[in-house]
Amino acid sequence: MSFSRLLAWQPLRVAAFTSLVLLAACGKDEPQQGMAGMKIPVNVVTVQPEATELFSDLPGRIEAIKDAEVRARVNGIVLARNFEQGSLVEEGQLLYTIDPAPYKAARDQAAAELQRAQANAQSAVALAQRYDRLIKENAVSRQDYDTAKAGAAQAQAAIAAAKAALANADINLGYTKVVAPISGRIGKSLVTEGALVSANAATPLAVVQQLDKVYVDITRSTNEMSQLRRAAAQGKFVLAKEGQAKARIRLDDNSFYEPSGRVLFEGVSVDPSTAQVSLRAEFDNPEQILLPGMYVRVVLEQGVAQNALLVPAQAIQYGGDGLASVVVVREGKPINTAVTLGAEKDGRYIVQDGLQPGDQVLVAGFQKLMPGATLQPIPWDPNNPEAEPNTQAAPSQSGEPATQDAKTSE
């Protein structure tokens, strides 16, 4: 292409570029000019006071109702284990047999000592009775009489001591048969046949746990407890009665364990290392699904909030500082409002501060918020939370056409 032809095309290229810039500028200004005449439909909920049962999701740990360690109470060699590990055992059932031979010998010796004491007593008593007659006739001295009476009393004391020794020997002999202290499920055996066990060291043999019912020990922060009590003192909240509050266990799959339990008591002292108080709930455990030592989440009934303001979880936004806020629609304008949240229930949060009864809170349509736009509140359907409001902008009250309609007519 020649240099002269390039010069001829240059004015045309400049004119075309200028036209494109003007068109782009017009395109940017058009939505802003028409925005004042638009009403953008958004979904809102109108918050009103309502009585609401409150529950707290707290950590807990399973404890057996009864937990008995089976320990040796005499020294000796274990001759036999008389139960199946992991089976159910009854109170008094034989669990272990410890070599009884030395204790049988001790028992026999104690029995012999008793017989000797009884024989000595017969002689001493007879002598005392004889001296009792002779003293009346002054046939014996008072000293001999007193000695005979003391000998008879000592003989009776020796019999009592021999009986106690025999009873102790019987007890030790009985301890060679180790029985279940309670009914329940027994775990693994901690000793085998041939093991030497000691009464002095109280050698553990096994553990029996009663699991048809279990305790759940729960911890709660003192801050939460104080907030509830302050609300109750102000008449905003009715606390659940101690001993009657319900509790439910949330399992790993987010389902609830059945049946529900009840709270037995709330601790009166605070753990200084954690600043928490302890609670205890009781649950039936007929199928023994809940096992001691298991960590669970417990949904605990707190009471009833008398005039709670609740908003759906999807209406809440969190800033970079972690603080919560909602968008309140007033006179068609969005107002970002900081709120203080309380407990959550069924996908809704109690707003403790920041809202007033009758406020319209934006739930869906956040992406449509634009500067200068007027919002058209549409009630949100909780049965269809994913539904979006009509995306077609509505005409304003003044009758001016919406921007989209103007584009279509053009």
The Cα-based distances of 279 to 9, 50, 59, 268, 285 in angstroms read 88, 29, 11, 9, 19
The answer for residues whose C-beta is within 8 angstroms of residue 165's C-beta and 6 or more apart is 110, 113, 114
Tens-digit pLDDT profile for residues 350-396: 888 889 899 999 898 888 777 777 888 888 887 765 555 554 444 44
The predicted pLDDT at position 7 comes to: 33
The predicted pLDDT at position 136 comes to: 85
Distance CA 360, CA 375 (A): 11
Tens-digit pLDDT profile for residues 222-256: 887 777 777 777 776 777 776 667 889 988 888 88
Tens-digit pLDDT profile for residues 254-276: 888 998 998 888 777 888 888 88
Identify the sign of the CA torsion 22, 26, 27, 28. positive
> Between residues 94 and 322, which one has the greater pLDDT?
94
Find which of 5-9, 160-164, 367-371 is predicted with most confidence, using mean pLDDT. 160-164
Distance CA 299, CA 294 (A): 16
The answer for residues whose C-beta is within 8 angstroms of residue 5's C-beta and 6 or more apart is none
Q: Within 10 Å of residue 349's Cβ, how many Cβ atoms?
A: 21
Confidence of residue 27 (pLDDT cuts 50, 70, 90): very low
pLDDT greater than 60 at residue 311: yes
Tens-digit pLDDT profile for residues 208-219: 999 999 999 998
> Between residues 207 and 373, which one has the greater pLDDT?
207
The predicted pLDDT at position 30 comes to: 47
**Single-letter amino acid, residue 115:** Q
DSSP H or E segment with residue 126: helix 101-136
Strand partners, 217: 61, 280
The predicted pLDDT at position 403 comes to: 36
pLDDT greater than 70 at residue 402: no
* All structural domains of the chain: 38-50+309-402 (2.40.420.20), 53-64+210-306 (2.40.30.170), 105-158 (1.10.287)
Distance CA 407, CA 391 (A): 16
The predicted pLDDT at position 224 comes to: 78
The predicted pLDDT at position 208 comes to: 96
Instruction: Name the nearest CA neighbour of 74 among 94, 99, 108.
Output: 99
> Between residues 204 and 17, which one has the greater pLDDT?
204
Find which of 149-163, 268-282, 391-405 is predicted with most confidence, using mean pLDDT. 149-163
**Single-letter amino acid, residue 407:** K
Token output for 184: 């329940």
The answer to whether 230 and 217 have CB atoms below 8 angstroms apart is no
Confidence of residue 20 (pLDDT cuts 50, 70, 90): very low
Tens-digit pLDDT profile for residues 112-150: 999 999 999 999 999 998 888 888 888 888 898 899 999
Mean pLDDT of the 327-336 span:
87
The Cα-based distances of 305 to 47, 247, 372 in angstroms read 15, 18, 39
pLDDT greater than 70 at residue 47: yes
CA 8 from centre of chain: 86
Q: Within 10 Å of residue 328's Cβ, how many Cβ atoms?
A: 21
Distance CA 170, CA 100 (A): 11
Confidence of residue 36 (pLDDT cuts 50, 70, 90): low
% of the chain exceeding 90 in pLDDT: 42
Distance CA 121, CA 131 (A): 15
The answer for residues whose C-beta is within 8 angstroms of residue 43's C-beta and 6 or more apart is 362, 363, 364, 365, 377, 378, 379, 380, 381, 387, 388, 389
pLDDT greater than 60 at residue 185: yes
> Between residues 196 and 52, which one has the greater pLDDT?
196
Q: Is 262 strand, coil or helix? A: strand
The answer to whether 229 and 221 have CB atoms below 8 angstroms apart is no
Token output for 257: 């364990």
